[in-house]
Chain A
Amino acid sequence: MTSANDEAVAPPNQAGSQRSAAAVATNGADSSSQLSHDEELQAYRDMLLIRRFEEKAGQLYGMGYIGGFCHLYIGQEAVVVGMQMALRQGDQLITGYRDHGHMLACGMDPKGVMAELTGRQGGYSRGKGGSMHMFSVEKAFYGGHGIVAAQVPLGAGLAFANRYRKNGQVSLTYFGEGAANQGQVYETFNMASLWKLPVIFIIENNRYAMGTAVARAAAKSEELYARGAAFGIPGEQVDGMDVGTVNAAGERAIAHARAGNGPYILEMMTYRYRGHSMSDPAKYRTREEVQKVREEQDPIERLRTRLLAGGTSEDGLKAVDKEIRAIVNDAAEFSQTNPEPAESELWTDITRDLSA
């Protein structure tokens, strides 16, 4: 594979430079990871938490505990975990509706997330937001947005606030390759570059916008990372199925933005194993295609192979599995036993009082 970091970050004034890591690596292939063994173990744990949490969410949906829309992140875990490890305290995240992974990665309590999915009082939004609308000011997670691409200017607005306050923080603004076709993305690219906002645009290219394959919806679909070129925004394509490669690209992009050089685009080549939402039978792709990605590129399996090769014991990883299962089971239990919001909640949080 062509490594994405085989040259230094382009000088800030060299507007619109792009590099591409065209091929997506297969299991066991070399990773450009700079992560230490402990960091890799942490990444394994974080990705596994997302995987098991999402599987459980799918199960609770099937049992009727979770209603409405529920978009699972299974398969894409390396993207958010790798990026999160490149952040500093106070840096912000914002994403669309496939948001459970982002919330877990930034340290939000799995119980609060799962209880929001089941619409309970103990959920992050007290049951009033649901799967697509959760927030944690404490963890600098700004949602959770249900309108495709709305989070892109909102994320640039977070970066605008960082620049206004000169606080050195950056905003990670995630969106899918489907959202990359929305007009407001380019309005935002223009202003983010014009004003040198410290924002990283992360395109999670999971190849299908609901049921539409990227090549059927996007002109020059093989290089979405280059869509900032006209605005002078550098971009690169990254193997989003390898957590170390993601992390290394994240470090480069964040350093660029934090140094005052303006926005940066990372196109993460990733894959979602499940349907777009729970009621999507995913007939627009073959089972073999999904199976092949799972077998050859699964981000958790790839890291597991590397950890074992690096001397981590099977028992050590089994202990992590066990710990994660217990956390997820606790979250599931809480989300089913925690009460629904009081009826009085219907009328709260519509507007704030001045004194509040």
Chain B
Amino acid sequence: MPTQVLMPALSPTMEEGTLAKWLVKEGDAITAGDVIAEIETDKATMEVEAVDEGTLGRILILEGTEGVKVNTPIAMILEDGEDASALDGTTVTGAPAPPDVAESTPPATQTDADQSASPPAAVAAVSRAAPELEIPANTEMIATTVREALRDAMAEEMRRDGDVFIMGEEVAEYQGAYKVTQGLLQEFGPERVIDTPITEHGFAGIGTGAAFAGLKPIVEFMTFNFAMQAIDHIINSAAKTLYMSGGQMGCSMVFRGPNGAAARVAAQHSQDYSSWYAQVPGLKVIAPYSAADAKGLLKSAIRDPNPIIFLENEILYGQSFDVPALDDWLIPIGRAKILRSGDGVTLVSYSRSVAYALEAADALAEEGISAEVIDLRTLRPLDLETVVQSVMKTNRLVTVEEAWPVCSIGTEVCQQVTSRAFDYLDAPPTKVAGANVPMPYAANLEKLALPSVAQVVAAAKAVSYA
């Protein structure tokens, strides 16, 4: 049977084109790959190559014909041994032949898929993490700095699983630029505690590749400011591969390091990237405040089979908190924590800003306003359930963060609460955030650029009409 040559689509958007020129004539022998015609689209002139072998039996669309629809037969190729009688019944046209609908309609690619931002309820329901385990009574609590808690978490997980290793700048011999990896080289050796050159893009990619192969890297960025050099691997390579592979291949790994403002290091070293990463499907994002949370969440992050962004804070590194002396202290990812109960106003925060919220709650109590303080701890997936339950009780919401205010975590929390608990709100949800400017160096200006306890108190009073 003769084979039809169809008008090809030569770009993702082409629907029709002009058959500009035939480069072969009827009776010519054709082999696959021969250029047989030229087609003009609205963008360019393209060559059409033969896919089949044989003899050009008949040209169906004459050259110069405009508006030839994609998939219209333009010629017939005879196989070896066939003669022209096989072509009986075909007609030549100078205009596009009416396309056979059944053949020319490409397979449906448009679906009525739900375009909403969230999965259907049945899918969403499974995303909430298991509740946190109670700390057994009489458990000894040990005052520990955030720095030590992070180190202990890594050391415990490295003892537990030989596939866990850490790489980054100054993590080994220098003992960590901020001493978070102190002692790890001595315990685990240079095969598992690896100093990298200053080459964030490269080592983030190597770490991700190692995770593809099944290892469990902890990639330390000296600060997340430098992770911008590496963000393509974090997002395009680490976060998206599970989805793009249909679930075949992902990466179990942690990108960690200090995030946000330190002190007097100015614009390029003082950015909070929380909302950047929290926006990306495929990542989980954690930003703890206390040492106990830092330890329990980092241990969970290292065991988690997904790429995790673990945002620490340099100012918190040296602060001490009680950490339970348990063999395996794990905190589920995706659970906020109520740090202080109250029924007058809900203060929602994460990372270092939690300190502002707690201090503001003390000040508000003196003025007779009872504030409930929620530490989000995980920024993706967000534990909105805990926040919404609180707002249904207090009817007021203030978010507190050091990040820029535009498209921030606070923005997301305010919007979600507004849409889920609108009828419970007695005042518009309010954000307290960093100033919408690059971080200045001068001490007085830096102070102005960061949120203050006074701002949180003022916002809480404003939504309380007090």
A residues adjacent to B (C-beta < 8 A)? 52, 55-56, 58-59, 61-65, 67-69, 74, 92, 94, 118-119, 123-129, 133-137, 142-147, 150, 152-162, 164, 183-184, 187-188, 190-191, 194, 273-275, 278-279, 281-283, 287, 294, 336, 340, 343-344, 346-354, 356
Which residues of chain A come closer than 8 Å to B11, judged between CB atoms?
278-279
Whole-angstrom distance between the alpha carbons of A281 and B17 in the complex? Answer: 14
Number of interface residues of B (CB under 8 A): 71
B residues adjacent to A (C-beta < 8 A)? 6-12, 14, 32-33, 35, 43-47, 49, 51, 70-71, 106-109, 111, 113-114, 119-120, 123, 165, 191, 196-197, 199, 201-215, 232-233, 236-237, 241-250, 281-282, 284, 303-306
If A129-B245, A129-B246 touch, does A281 touch B47 (CB 8 Å cutoff)?
Answer: yes
Q: Which residue of chain A is the closest to B119 with respect to CB atoms?
A: A347
Whole-angstrom distance between the alpha carbons of A92 and B249 in the complex? Answer: 14
Q: How far is the CB of A151 from chain B (nearest CB, A)?
A: 8
Partner of A347, one of B123, B209, B232: B123
If A150-B233, A190-B199, A191-B202 touch, does A135 touch B248 (CB 8 Å cutoff)?
Answer: yes
- Number of A-B residue pairs with CB-CB distance less than 8 Å in the complex they form: 222
Which residues of chain B come closer than 8 Å to A275, judged between CB atoms?
46
Whole-angstrom distance between the alpha carbons of A317 and B49 in the complex? Answer: 23
On whether the beta carbons of A281 and B245 are closer than 8 Å, the reply is no
Residue with the highest number of chain B CB atoms closer than 10 Å, among A65, A150, A350: A350
If A128-B244, A281-B44 touch, does A187 touch B107 (CB 8 Å cutoff)?
Answer: no
If A183-B201, A278-B10, A340-B111 touch, does A157 touch B209 (CB 8 Å cutoff)?
Answer: yes
Residue with the highest number of chain B CB atoms closer than 10 Å, among A58, A94, A160, A194: A160
On whether the beta carbons of A194 and B244 are closer than 8 Å, the reply is no
Q: How far is the CB of B284 from chain A (nearest CB, A)?
A: 7
Residue with the highest number of chain A CB atoms closer than 10 Å, among B35, B206, B243, B306: B206
Q: How far is the CB of B190 from chain A (nearest CB, A)?
A: 10
Q: Which residue of chain B is the closest to A356 with respect to CB atoms?
A: B305
Q: Which residue of chain A is the closest to B203 with respect to CB atoms?
A: A191
9 smallest CB-CB distances across A and B, nearest first, come from A157-B209, A153-B205, A62-B8, A187-B202, A64-B106, A161-B213, A279-B11, A126-B246, A154-B209
Q: Which residue of chain A is the closest to B215 with respect to CB atoms?
A: A161
On whether the beta carbons of B210 and A152 are closer than 8 Å, the reply is no
Whole-angstrom distance between the alpha carbons of A74 and B34 in the complex? Answer: 13
Partner of A188, one of B9, B191, B205: B205
Whole-angstrom distance between the alpha carbons of A16 and B236 in the complex? Answer: 33
Whole-angstrom distance between the alpha carbons of A67 and B45 in the complex? Answer: 19
Which residues of chain B come closer than 8 Å to A294, judged between CB atoms?
33
